[in-house]
Structure 1
Amino acid sequence: MRKLIVLLLCFYLGAFEEISTKKFPESFLFGAATAAYQIEGGWNEDGKGESMWDRFVHDDPSRVKDGQNGDIACDSYHKWQEDVELLTQLGVKLYRFSLSWPRILPDGTPRKVNQAGINYYRNLINALKQAGIEPMVTLYHWDLPQHLLELGGWLNSDIANYFGDYARIAFENFGDDVKLWATVNEPKTTCLSGYAYGEMAPGFTLPGDGVYKCAKVQLLAHAKAYHIYHAEFATKQKGRISLVIDASYNLPALNNDRDIFGAQREDEFTLGWFAHPVYLGDWPELMKTRIGNLSKQQGYSFSRLPEFNQEEINYINGTFDFFGLNTYTSNLITYIVDIDIGDPNYFTDKSTIPWQDSNWAPSNAPWLYSYPLGMRKLLNHVWNTYKPGSIYVTENGWATDGSLEDSSRISYLQNYMSNMLDAITEDGVNVVGYTTWSLMDNFEWAQGYTQKFGIIHVDFDSPNRTRTFKTSAYWYKNVVATRCLVEECLD
């Protein structure tokens, strides 16, 4: 049976499809992406406060695969000018990066604004603008101020108000030059990895209830920032703001009713979990029904999925100006019959097994899975289901061993971008920009420096953190210059 599934997958994969010979539209923005904790370093310099990731990795280095941390990382706090020059050499017109909340507000509250942090980001943004590169700024990419974690973190609904105050300060200081904002990056990953199975900061294991509370608070925080921007800044600054959601394309492992339904349930418990409240209003009905029924069977007098009242539904619904999509891989979905429901758990709530055959993954990143056609199918699903008006692919990339010759990354990017181009030119999906993950090798959270996603190599053994173009960077530079994925494109 497993051999049959692999053969079916090979058919699904479209691995032998020709790369598109069409050109990307002239208006399409090519770019690259990073995040503050992963590249900046300078973790306690110039008035920066402690983040929950600082505390998480310092308290127990074994929480990271190689025992390392982001204290120095790529040292972009000191080398930001070199980073801008690298972006200029690539020819990209879009750079997605995040602000460090505790670098701007050391304890996360507005009582003290760290001017050195404001100056750092203002200098970076000004340099990008002078180079003709549009900054796309993420307000929150996982580095919650430690003080706010001690107030309950994403389990405390007041954090949405703190986030609003922080967002307002960012808009006031940078909004004249920033026209693209992302509120929260990958809330699903924060809630699952940080609050369900404890792999990432803050390391909580609350898979039956905390994981859902985290989701609700992050959605309220996103909506708070959105409303502040549109009420106080958008008319003058004329920018756009949205959430960034991570998703995979899900295929039924077998073509039977059970796995087809399993793929639908996987979609709603992952993509729909955060997209439905923002783009359609309220949690997905399947989630509400499923978790509500299980909660009742488990003896609860209420659903473990916290309900939105009508005021909250209205407050969150429609808080988007585009769709920010992070996508790396696809899943085969096997539906599983209900197991013991006595232990409330997100994974038994959705009752599916997402998996990928190991034959399709590199040895250094076994969780990555190359299914290029999934990019096209996922973009169509997002476009047709949520009707966002426009889509930015805000993360997409491939891990290698860090060598400069990275042909597997080129193959991955070329195939995924080809399917993105097909979605644009053949399906009418309005994808307007793409920022590959990542501009450079960096600190990959619980994986430390063992995963290398950068198109630019960083020598972490060198005090200078020397940057060097990989083969993929030269390839990407040519794609940006020609708007073409092959040597010669059709007009």
Structure 2
Amino acid sequence: MKTKNKLTIIYILLMSTCTSSQTNQTFPNSFKFGVASSAYQVEGGWNLGGKGESIWDRLTHSKPKKIKDRSNADISCDSYHKVLEDVQLLKDLDVDFYKFSISWPRILPTGHVNNINSDGIRYYNELIDELIANGIRPVATMFHWDLPQLLQEKGGWLNEKAVLAFEEYANLLFSMYGNRVRDWITFDDPGRFCFDPYYQQTSFADGLKEDGNVGYLCAHAILKSHATVYRLYNFNYRERQHGRIGISFGSTWMEPGVRGESDDDISELAMQLELGWFAHPIFSRIGDYPKMVSDQIDYFTRQIQTSSFIIPEFESADVEFLRGSSDFFGLTHYTTKICDSSQSKFSAEGTPLFGMDFCGQNEQWENGTSPWLQVVPWGIRKLLNWIKKEYDNPEVFITANGFSDDGSDNDCRRVHYINSYLEHILAAIYKDNCNVSAYTVWSFLDSFQWYQGYTEKFGLYNVDFNALERTRTAKLSSMVYTNIIKQRKIDWDYSPEGYKMCKWGLSTNGTA
């Protein structure tokens, strides 16, 4: 362990030196900056204006103990009532775009187009029009985890009818908003709601989450659903709306340990499961699921001598249908893990979730408030290079990257996180020729953070959740981010008036 730590420190110092010359390098003129949110986390108005119930409404109301602080997002930031105020804050930030999600149950209370909610249509019209009036490009996500509860009760994503319902929902969105929205994202981080057992408590109906292959069945449905919507847009809308449509994948960088080839193999296997399982069918030249993972799953099923664990397969027509079905590579990234082949083992729950069992944290790395989030800026550069090599350097749209803390307005640690990760993105662009087109900070506002409630804060703006008006206050990070956008470069010495100057020091992972 001591040897590993020394080698890690040496590597990080070298990487820090390598990117220091990039500190004053300007971002390309075409590079875009934005911020993100999701409907359930910020909107509130959970039962107003004819909105239907979502799976998160049901969970937080029926099982409040599941949430760390027993809270919910019934009101949250109250963005449902604060379109004008929020867009003004976005204008103050000087962002190029705002990535928000549309609440499926607010538009279609039952999940189906035979019941369209006019107030839901109105709300997103107001938001989109206000963004455009202020020179901010709307980037709309169709699904960010808030499935209509009535679809959930029919089996959720494990029911083929959900794929058809999503296609009808997407078609409605294109017809309502496609004349103004030019950037669409079908699904945000499907790996999270398909594979993470912690989140499967809301993603699947009771009893369906017990089978070991449920995550793979969900992934299969999501991929087919995405491709169906992509082809729908191509056939019916692209020629006259001139937009783009993609999907956003969440991925940790899986760093090999120091044991040589065995750790390299484990790291690659973890990457292929973490990211390749979703990206490979769409972005690889041959399509289909990564063979490396499929072979390992076959081995797993033989080891446990079971025939119940069946991974769905694509027909040859499906492979062709999926391949190339995205105009950009959406990437959500926060942190890095270390993969150690000596710790390799199958999941105790009987699901081969590679990477979850033998890729873990390094005690030398700094943590955010979220225990899973360690600050490892060079990880994003390595991940971008992996995508470049694996998928022939597609356009990467970084759809979320951010840091959690306790909510302080003088959030120096978030400033350091953003600066550091952007430095390594610059290095990936200029030194490695990675095709990165946009960067998005998660998140615009402090908001409801799923199972963690309001105990973790990611926002550039503080929200007073005890105040009736849900008062917003700009944090230091919002000022620094605006300066980066205006100057198109990172200025480590920038400190706006009224905020304490941050003091930077180099820890073992190159962070303050």
Residues 1:330 and 2:336 are matched in the alignment = yes
Which moves more between the two structures, 361-370 or 210-219? 361-370
8 Å contact kept, 2:400–2:439: yes
Distance in 2 between the 1:289 and 1:26 partners? 44
CA RMSD of aligned residues (A): 2.0
Matched ranges for 1:190-205 at <5 A: 190-193=193-196, 198=200, 200-202=202-204, 205=209
Distance in 1 between the 2:469 and 2:265 partners? 52
| Match among 455, 460, 463 for residue 450 of structure 1 | 455
| Match among 293, 296, 320 for residue 299 of structure 2 | 293
Distance in 1 between the 2:343 and 2:96 partners? 49
Residues 1:318 and 2:324 are matched in the alignment = yes
What SS does the corresponding residue of 2:187 show, helix, strand or coil?
A: strand
Aligned to 1:345: 351
Distance in 1 between the 2:345 and 2:186 partners? 37
Corresponding letter in the other structure for 2:118: Q
Deviation at 1:361, TM superposition (A): 3.0
8 Å contact kept, 1:291–1:303: no
CA 1:306–1:94 in 2, change beyond 3 Å: closer, same or farther?
A: same
Deviation at 1:343, TM superposition (A): 5.6
Distance in 2 between the 1:342 and 1:87 partners? 45
Q: Where does the alignment leave 5 or more consecutive residues of structure 2 unmatched?
A: 495-512
Corresponding letter in the other structure for 2:380: M
Deviation at 1:473, TM superposition (A): 0.5
| Match among 106, 115, 119 for residue 118 of structure 2 | 115
Residues 1:140 and 2:149 are matched in the alignment = no
Aligned to 2:189: 186
Residues 1:463 and 2:462 are matched in the alignment = no
Corresponding letter in the other structure for 1:116: D
Distance in 2 between the 1:200 and 1:144 partners? 9
Residues 1:10 and 2:9 are matched in the alignment = yes
Deviation at 1:381, TM superposition (A): 1.3
Residues 1:275 and 2:279 are matched in the alignment = yes
CA 1:308–1:128 in 2, change beyond 3 Å: closer, same or farther?
A: same
Corresponding letter in the other structure for 2:454: Y
Deviation at 1:81, TM superposition (A): 1.2
Matched ranges for 1:75-94 at <5 A: 75-94=78-97
8 Å contact kept, 1:397–1:437: yes
Aligned to 1:34: 37
Corresponding letter in the other structure for 1:402: G
What SS does the corresponding residue of 1:320 show, helix, strand or coil?
A: coil
Aligned to 1:174: 177
8 Å contact kept, 1:200–1:445: no
Distance in 1 between the 2:363 and 2:201 partners? 22
| Match among 369, 372, 375 for residue 367 of structure 1 | 372
Deviation at 1:363, TM superposition (A): 5.9
Deviation at 1:34, TM superposition (A): 0.4
Corresponding letter in the other structure for 2:123: Y
| Match among 44, 49, 71 for residue 46 of structure 1 | 49
Distance in 2 between the 1:207 and 1:450 partners? 32
What SS does the corresponding residue of 2:340 show, helix, strand or coil?
A: strand
8 Å contact kept, 2:345–2:357: no
Aligned to 1:98: 101
What SS does the corresponding residue of 2:146 show, helix, strand or coil?
A: coil
Residues 1:211 and 2:215 are matched in the alignment = yes
Aligned to 1:419: 424
Distance in 1 between the 2:423 and 2:199 partners? 35
When the two structures are superposed, what TM-score results if normalisation uses the length of structure 1?
A: 0.94
Aligned to 2:477: 472
CA 1:304–1:487 in 2, change beyond 3 Å: closer, same or farther?
A: same
What SS does the corresponding residue of 1:346 show, helix, strand or coil?
A: coil
Residues 1:406 and 2:411 are matched in the alignment = yes
Aligned to 1:249: 253
Deviation at 1:206, TM superposition (A): 3.3
Distance in 1 between the 2:182 and 2:64 partners? 38
8 Å contact kept, 2:346–2:352: no
Deviation at 1:447, TM superposition (A): 0.8
What SS does the corresponding residue of 1:158 show, helix, strand or coil?
A: helix
Corresponding letter in the other structure for 2:5: V
What SS does the corresponding residue of 1:68 show, helix, strand or coil?
A: coil
8 Å contact kept, 2:368–2:403: no
Distance in 1 between the 2:127 and 2:142 partners? 15
CA 1:207–1:13 in 2, change beyond 3 Å: closer, same or farther?
A: farther
Which moves more between the two structures, 198-207 or 297-306? 198-207
8 Å contact kept, 1:197–1:207: no
Residues 1:224 and 2:228 are matched in the alignment = yes
What SS does the corresponding residue of 1:478 show, helix, strand or coil?
A: helix
Distance in 2 between the 1:99 and 1:346 partners? 33
Matched ranges for 1:261-272 at <5 A: 261-272=265-276
8 Å contact kept, 1:337–1:351: no
CA 1:406–1:164 in 2, change beyond 3 Å: closer, same or farther?
A: same
Deviation at 1:335, TM superposition (A): 2.1
Aligned to 1:22: 25
Deviation at 1:301, TM superposition (A): 4.3
8 Å contact kept, 1:34–1:96: yes
Deviation at 1:196, TM superposition (A): 7.0
8 Å contact kept, 2:282–2:324: yes
8 Å contact kept, 1:252–1:259: yes
CA 1:369–1:338 in 2, change beyond 3 Å: closer, same or farther?
A: closer
The one-character-per-residue Cα deviations of 1:100-119 (angstroms, maximum 9, x if unpaired) are: 00000001011111111011
8 Å contact kept, 1:279–1:388: no
Q: Where does the alignment leave 5 or more consecutive residues of structure 1 unmatched?
A: none
Distance in 2 between the 1:264 and 1:459 partners? 43
The one-character-per-residue Cα deviations of 1:69-97 (angstroms, maximum 9, x if unpaired) are: 11111000001111100000011111100
Distance in 2 between the 1:330 and 1:207 partners? 29
8 Å contact kept, 1:196–1:208: no
The one-character-per-residue Cα deviations of 1:356-403 (angstroms, maximum 9, x if unpaired) are: 124423362221111111111111211221136311100000001101
CA 1:442–1:99 in 2, change beyond 3 Å: closer, same or farther?
A: same
When the two structures are superposed, what TM-score results if normalisation uses the length of structure 2?
A: 0.91
Deviation at 1:201, TM superposition (A): 4.1
CA 1:363–1:317 in 2, change beyond 3 Å: closer, same or farther?
A: closer
Distance in 1 between the 2:135 and 2:245 partners? 20
8 Å contact kept, 1:335–1:351: no
8 Å contact kept, 1:56–1:201: no
Between Structure 1 and Structure 2, how many residues are aligned?
486
8 Å contact kept, 2:192–2:199: no
Corresponding letter in the other structure for 1:304: I
